[in-house]
Amino acid sequence: MTDQKLILLLKIIMSIGISLILAGVYCHMYSETIEQMGVTGIVISACLVAIGMILSLPTKMYLTFILVKREEDRKVLNQVK
């Protein structure tokens, strides 16, 4: 897999994770259905946030690593020229 495809895939996964976090927060704060469900509703919204965190945080770290490595490679190429 090329770097461009990998970066695109990581950005998509990170976006899905952030969307799940926002959905969990929305469900917890503003949804009457979740409120009526009681503890089960809290667990559902907490699971949305947890899965979103699982998807977004490691992806951000790896994506940052790739981008820093790419920037260092460009600096080395510019110094060689």
Q: Which amino acid is at 73?
A: D
> What is the C-alpha separation between 18 and 56, in angstroms, rounded?
6
pLDDT at position 20 is 95
pTM: predicted TM-score of the whole model, two decimal places:
0.74
Amino acid at 72: E
Please spell the DSSP secondary structure of 9-67, one letter per residue. Answer: HHHHHHHHHHHHHHHHHHHHHH-HHHHHHTHHHHHHHHHHHHHHHHHHHHHHHHHHHHH
Residue 81 has what pLDDT? 67
Contacts with 80 (C-beta within 8 Å, 6 or more apart), sequence order: none
Q: Which residues of the chain have pLDDT under 70?
A: 81
Range of the domain at 33: 3-80
Tally of domains within the chain: 1
